[in-house]
Chains A and B, each alone.
Chain A
Amino acid sequence: MAVIGSFALLLALALSLYSFLGGIVALVKGDGSERLGETARRAGIATFAAVLLAAVILVVCAFQDDFSIAYILHHSNRNLPGPYKFAVLWSGQEGSLLFWSLLLAAYGFVLRLRYKTDPRLFAYASVVLAGVQIFFLSLLNFAAHPFAIVQGTIPADGNGLNPLLQYPEMVIHPPMLYLGYVGFTVPFAFALGALIMKYPGEKWIHITRRWTMVTWAFLTCGVFLGAHWAYSVLGWGGYWGWDPVENASLMPWLTGTAFLHSVMMQEKRGMLKMWNMWLVFATFWLAILGTFLTRSGIISSVHAFAQSSIGDWFAWFLGITLVVFVFFFIKNKSSLRSEHKLESIVSRESSFLFNNLLFVLLCFTVLWGTWFPKISELVQGNKVTVGAPFYNRVAIPVALLLLILTAVGPLLAWRKTSLESLKRNFMWPAIGAIVVAIFLMITPQSWGSPFGLRPWQDIAYFYSLMAISLSVLVTLTVASEFYRGGRVISKHTGQGMFASMVQLTHRNTRRYGGYIVHFGVVVVIIGFAGAAFNLDKEQEMGNGDKMTIGPYTLICRSYTDDDAPNAASEWAILDVYKGGKYIDTMTPVRKFFKASQQTSTMPAIRSGLNEDLYLVFEGLNPDNGHPIIKAHLNALVMWIWMGVWIMLIGTVLALIPNAPAPVRVPAPARLERAEAAPAVTGD
């Protein structure tokens, strides 16, 4: 099996090389080399089959416990449950690179099948994709071979999968994240292709936008699944630790989001062509940089699951892509010139410029914080830690400014907005937000809900108050947009308001889908704001002992254990009371994984709209053998997961094509006569 897998990888590399070189020759020669171009396209399609074969073989080897393959030996064991044997594919260095290559080949497969949309542009994009694919397949064949054979005696059992990865979400989190990371190669391929061929018009940006939205949705899903996994498995009570690997996933997300906004400037006004080109490149480049960080060991991280010499390969690849892009940008930037003309500072265009500044600045802050330990070491000879307190001080104020723009931006019209109309549209949402802020400040403090927020007591309360008030502002502006549009349709069609709003959304899915994404974002922000009210407590708890945290009382009923082939488990059984009334029994668990000889805790979580009760069985006190329970009360966490669902629903909605435009009524005759009248711009 290993031989067939190795052969498949070599074949895939050969096909990619052909697709790349054949594609270039066909494009350079132009007319008369259509057949060569077609074979290059088909070689690209065949690459997918070859990489798929290699991936399937690796998974089959995991299921067959073929420990003669070093990768299977190090990442699986006989008693590993089936779904996790499937997850072995992306659990280690070599397998995850194979998985990356597989997804890239799959994206290339779809792209090459859809080539008729614009054969020449797709041919360029296909060549760029093949170039990236060559890099990953070279890595797999020469630096991180997933089918390397174990030398000497083959052990009877494998070392097992990392215990932290033995969790259902780990079967879907990495694929989602990788779909996002890898997917950004496609917009980059189109952008570089369009740049090289000096693509006339904006069609490439329409194609790229849809791919970016799909990829962005995958990355969003991947990032938040990672956060949910950290929350549910790592047992420290949080969901985001600003670890370099977490940051690596956030950076392309931020620039990708900036691109999804600024692309509208290019589509509607033909502006920011160069800037968009750079944003697409930066997003792709940051995705690769994230992989470099994860795998090179250059920056220490909890999640850096593999460290090896492939960091050099990534450094070279990052350098080469930068040089290639800069070369073609300088060579062909004249094709990206556009006549920028703004009619007013108070316009949608201005808000997009500031929006992009803040997204890019947030990305820069995350990048800066990630690299600062290294910079500090170079400058002053000692490393410093850049953890959550740094990001809370620097990134939160910028994020709050972005939230203000999220509220104001949609109310601004293209070209020019009169202050009168801005005041008219903005006044009630602003009053609503101020009323909510005052209400939150003057109400009595109560645990588990954002009441009694005294911003002068703690900076965390100030941020929390600002975040919630601005979220209300955004929600009200989004609601007012739906209401005003729905009212117009309702007036003309006589339909009910809800039906009118549905019709409104269907007429312009992108705009109203985008508003739903914004609403999802504010729900997530409210969830983040809840962190200001978190509580935690640690206590030794013998049978019958009590612990009180917030409104909850925990009583330890007993402890029990269980022995399964893969892992031995110890469970704490705790009865939970709220307001003196029994509500639940929770069982945090501590597992000992036999193959890897590692211990892991699995928290018990009781989620509610107000708060999560989060219990961790930390182990036994070595002095007296008493079990230790740590309890966290985490406010509003469920809002984060709800917000992500709303964001994804909004994105799917935005991808649905618009309903057909209403039939156009011919312009009345008087317009023909009044053609010489100056145009009036307004909202």
Chain B
Amino acid sequence: MSRLNPFSKLGAPLLASFARSGSLRRKATHTLILCAAVFALLGAGDPATRFNDIGHQMMCICGCNQILLECNHVGCPDSDGMRNELMAAVSRGDSDSLVEQSFVQKYGPTVLAAPTTQGFDRVAYIIPFTALFFGCGLIVLVIRTWKNRPAPAIADGLPPVRGAAREQFRDQAGKETDL
């Protein structure tokens, strides 16, 4: 049993004990199969859905700066032809990437509504998420630094607070509690 148990090879006792339970293992297997099926089916669809999806990833090239399927210029010289081409490609069963490649070859890279995930275009996506990552790191660092600052030393206990000073503290407390 343990020889067949993939989790025991990981040397994680917790995972191994989880895997020893037959019922749990069956559930985990089912979940994995379900997830695999879901991901395999992602992106699949009928031609109309694919036409709609791909058409929203492309631009009309007439200069209107609109998404291909949203171009509404009366008498637009390009969008009708492009839509027909797209419909023909989808009906032929061309893959999404093949359709995109053929459009890029014909109309240039600006026909795609967003940068690709290849070459320098990748930078468009990497930079914002890198900024998020480093920004979060920076804030955690700042919080830790501010938190670790020593509190002001008090020599002989707290001095009595009276009169104006107390009013000042009450004002501050009011501010901080929004009351």
Q: Show the binding face of A for B, using Cβ within 8 Å.
A: 234-238, 241, 243, 267-269, 300-302, 340-345, 350, 353-354, 357, 360-361, 364-365, 368-369, 372, 376, 379-380, 382-390, 393-394, 398, 413-415, 456-457, 508, 511, 536, 590, 599, 601, 616, 618-619, 622, 630, 661, 664, 667, 672, 675-678
- B124 A357 Cβ-Cβ under 8 A: no
State the 8 A-B residue pairs at the shortest beta-carbon distance, nearest first: A389-B114, A390-B114, A387-B113, A619-B74, A342-B146, A414-B176, A236-B70, A342-B147
Query: Chain A residues near B69 (CB, 8 Å)?
Result: 536
A70 to B108, CA, bound (A): 39
B115 is an interface residue with CB less than 8 A from chain A:
yes
- A341 B120 Cβ-Cβ under 8 A: no
- A384 B112 Cβ-Cβ under 8 A: yes
For chain B, the count of residues having a C-beta within 8 Å of the partner chain is 57
B142 is an interface residue with CB less than 8 A from chain A:
yes
Query: Chain A residues near B74 (CB, 8 Å)?
Result: 590, 599, 601, 618-619
A350 to B125, CA, bound (A): 27
Known: A384-B112, A388-B113, A601-B74. 20 other contacts (CB 8 A): A237-B72, A241-B66, A341-B147, A341-B151, A345-B147, A350-B143, A357-B132, A361-B131, A372-B115, A380-B119, A385-B111, A385-B115, A390-B125, A394-B125, A394-B128, A414-B176, A414-B177, A415-B176, A590-B74, A676-B157
B15 is an interface residue with CB less than 8 A from chain A:
no
A301 to B111, CA, bound (A): 15
A194 to B83, CA, bound (A): 58
- B72 A387 Cβ-Cβ under 8 A: no
Given contacts A341-B149, A508-B178, A618-B74, whether A300 and B143 have CB atoms under 8 Å apart is no
Query: Chain B residues near A379 (CB, 8 Å)?
Result: 120
Chain B 105-140 per-residue mask, 1 if CB under 8 angstroms from chain A, else 0: 000111111111001110011011101100110010
- A302 B64 Cβ-Cβ under 8 A: yes
A616 to B74, CA, bound (A): 11
Chain B 152-179 per-residue mask, 1 if CB under 8 angstroms from chain A, else 0: 0000011111100010001000111111
Query: Chain B residues near A678 (CB, 8 Å)?
Result: 158
A476 to B81, CA, bound (A): 50
B71 is an interface residue with CB less than 8 A from chain A:
yes
Query: Chain A residues near B179 (CB, 8 Å)?
Result: 508
Task: Name which residue of chain A comes closest to B169, CB basis.
Answer: A679
A677 to B143, CA, bound (A): 28
Query: Chain B residues near A457 (CB, 8 Å)?
Result: 42
B124, B175, B177: which contacts A390 (Cβ < 8 A)?
B124
Minimal beta-carbon separation of B68 from chain A (angstroms): 10
Minimal beta-carbon separation of A485 from chain B (angstroms): 9
- B128 A376 Cβ-Cβ under 8 A: no
Task: Name which residue of chain A comes closest to B74, CB basis.
Answer: A619
Interface-centre pick from A368, A415, A661, A677 (highest chain B CB count, 10 A): A368
B75 is an interface residue with CB less than 8 A from chain A:
yes
Minimal beta-carbon separation of B95 from chain A (angstroms): 18
- A382 B109 Cβ-Cβ under 8 A: yes
Query: Chain A residues near B82 (CB, 8 Å)?
Result: none
Minimal beta-carbon separation of B56 from chain A (angstroms): 7
Query: Chain A residues near B121 (CB, 8 Å)?
Result: 376, 384
A599 to B75, CA, bound (A): 10
B38 is an interface residue with CB less than 8 A from chain A:
yes
- A368 B72 Cβ-Cβ under 8 A: no
Query: Chain A residues near B159 (CB, 8 Å)?
Result: 675
- A353 B143 Cβ-Cβ under 8 A: yes
Query: Chain A residues near B112 (CB, 8 Å)?
Result: 384-385
A27 to B113, CA, bound (A): 53
A237 to B67, CA, bound (A): 11
B86 is an interface residue with CB less than 8 A from chain A:
no
Minimal beta-carbon separation of A547 from chain B (angstroms): 16
Minimal beta-carbon separation of B76 from chain A (angstroms): 10
A555 to B71, CA, bound (A): 24
- B146 A387 Cβ-Cβ under 8 A: no
A353, A372, A601: which contacts B72 (Cβ < 8 A)?
A601
Interface-centre pick from A369, A385, A661 (highest chain B CB count, 10 A): A385
Query: Chain A residues near B120 (CB, 8 Å)?
Result: 376, 379-380
Minimal beta-carbon separation of B121 from chain A (angstroms): 6
B59 is an interface residue with CB less than 8 A from chain A:
yes
- A361 B71 Cβ-Cβ under 8 A: no
Task: Name which residue of chain B comes closest to A235, CB basis.
Answer: B72
Query: Chain B residues near A389 (CB, 8 Å)?
Result: 56-57, 113-114
- A368 B124 Cβ-Cβ under 8 A: yes
Interface-centre pick from B116, B125, B143 (highest chain A CB count, 10 A): B143
Minimal beta-carbon separation of B43 from chain A (angstroms): 10
Query: Chain A residues near B125 (CB, 8 Å)?
Result: 390, 393-394
Query: Chain A residues near B160 (CB, 8 Å)?
Result: 672, 675-676
B75, B116, B149, B178: which contacts A511 (Cβ < 8 A)?
B178
Query: Chain A residues near B161 (CB, 8 Å)?
Result: 675
B101 is an interface residue with CB less than 8 A from chain A:
no
- A365 B128 Cβ-Cβ under 8 A: yes
Given contacts A394-B128, A676-B158, whether A340 and B114 have CB atoms under 8 Å apart is no
B65 is an interface residue with CB less than 8 A from chain A:
yes
Query: Chain B residues near A664 (CB, 8 Å)?
Result: 170
Task: Name which residue of chain A comes closest to B70, CB basis.
Answer: A236
Ordered by A's residue number, 18 sampled pairs between the chains whose C-beta atoms are within 8 Å are: A241-B65, A269-B176, A340-B149, A341-B147, A344-B147, A354-B139, A357-B139, A361-B131, A361-B135, A380-B120, A384-B115, A386-B124, A387-B65, A388-B67, A536-B69, A616-B72, A672-B160, A675-B161
A420 to B162, CA, bound (A): 33
Query: Chain B residues near A414 (CB, 8 Å)?
Result: 176-177
Minimal beta-carbon separation of B41 from chain A (angstroms): 9
Query: Chain A residues near B127 (CB, 8 Å)?
Result: 368
A268, A599, A676: which contacts B176 (Cβ < 8 A)?
A268
- A302 B114 Cβ-Cβ under 8 A: no
A677 to B161, CA, bound (A): 12
A269 to B175, CA, bound (A): 9
A395 to B84, CA, bound (A): 32
- B67 A387 Cβ-Cβ under 8 A: yes
Query: Chain A residues near B57 (CB, 8 Å)?
Result: 389
Query: Chain A residues near B146 (CB, 8 Å)?
Result: 340-342
Query: Chain B residues near A413 (CB, 8 Å)?
Result: 176-177
Minimal beta-carbon separation of B48 from chain A (angstroms): 10
Minimal beta-carbon separation of B40 from chain A (angstroms): 11
Minimal beta-carbon separation of B49 from chain A (angstroms): 9
Query: Chain A residues near B108 (CB, 8 Å)?
Result: 382
Task: Name which residue of chain A comes closest to B160, CB basis.
Answer: A675
- B72 A236 Cβ-Cβ under 8 A: yes
A393 to B57, CA, bound (A): 12
Query: Chain B residues near A364 (CB, 8 Å)?
Result: 128, 131
A432 to B161, CA, bound (A): 45
A10 to B11, CA, bound (A): 83
A357, A387, A393: which contacts B59 (Cβ < 8 A)?
A387
- A619 B147 Cβ-Cβ under 8 A: no
Task: Name which residue of chain A comes closest to B64, CB basis.
Answer: A302
Minimal beta-carbon separation of A202 from chain B (angstroms): 11
Task: Name which residue of chain B comes closest to A488, CB basis.
Answer: B179
A599 to B73, CA, bound (A): 9
Query: Chain A residues near B111 (CB, 8 Å)?
Result: 385
A234 to B74, CA, bound (A): 12
Interface residues of B in 59-103 (CB under 8 A from A): 59, 64-67, 69-72, 74-75
